Amino acid sequence: MRSAVRVRRRLISRERAEAGERSIPEETPIAFTYDRQTYAVMMASPADLEDFAYGFSFTEGLITKTGDITDLEILELDKGIELRMTLAEERNEKLQSRARRFAGPAGCGLCGIESLEEAVAPPPTVGSMLKVDSGTVFRAMAELRRHQPVNAETRGVHAAGFWSAKKQSFSAVREDVGRHNALDKLAGALLRANADAAEGFLALTSRVSIELVQKAAVLGCPMLVAISVPTALALKTADAAGFTLAAIARDDSFEVFTHSERIEVSAHALV
């Protein structure tokens, strides 16, 4: 299934009206099932589904490594897609002790939680010694645009990318109609590639809410840069976790809200 479809539309401007076509994002119900039990149904883009299966399972705490999923089938059904997974025995026991079922829209990040405490659970403390030059941040955010083919076509999806400080390039970028889904897909790509998320930072095309900070910290990534604003709770959570949060990234500026010591200001920026 494609992540974008062509549809007929009528364009009306102040000067004229004309028929034509445009591309819009596809959105599909995707069910996560473990040992034939449905855990969640998310509305998402029907792409990078293996990454989605592993990344969602990892950020949900259902697995800790790829080997915890012993079998994965991707089934296209009449009304959506099922990611049918089999868990290793010890992980299945953990799943049964905390099973919850929910339906999550594309904008959903904490759907189906069972308590307020679970919603604001502190993420792992990040201990990475990563140092990044401010010029690198500008370069990464500029390059992110070139890794978003679906958004270039539709102007309607989010992206999450991982910039490797060692490679000085993106190791992976994933797109989705949901910002949380894009990050889960990226998490799956990194997990499957056995990448060390402590050696770089995340670049996001969305606002930053608490669950994105939580997911990043679970990955072990020490820093996140986003084009939109963070929430106050996201900042509080990031600060407590030792996590560097930068946002409102533009071509000529970005704002660092927590643990700015990881970002070294380029000399030319001080002129």
Q: Let me know if 111 is a catalytic residue.
A: no
Describe the strand order of the beta sheet including 200-204 as a list of residue ranges.
169-176, 158-164, 200-204, 223-226, 244-247, 255-258
On whether the CB atoms of residues 143 and 162 are closer than 8 A, the answer is no
Distances (CA, A) of 105 to 144, 180, 204, 231: 25, 10, 19, 20
Check residue 155 and report its DSSP letter: S
Question: How many Å apart are CA 46 and CA 17, to the nearest integer?
Answer: 33
Question: How many Å apart are CA 139 and CA 201, to the nearest integer?
Answer: 13
Question: How many Å apart are CA 66 and CA 189, to the nearest integer?
Answer: 11
Tokens 């069910």 sit on residue = 31
Q: Which of 108, 113, 119, 130 is catalytic?
A: 108
CB atoms within 10 A of CB 6: 11
Non-local (6+) Cβ contacts of 65 within 8 A are 191
Does residue 76 sit in helix, strand or coil? strand
Instruction: Name the nearest CA neighbour of 54 among 151, 174, 226, 141.
Output: 174
200-204 and 223-226: which strand pairing?
parallel
Question: How many Å apart are CA 42 and CA 29, to the nearest integer?
Answer: 6
Active site residues: 108
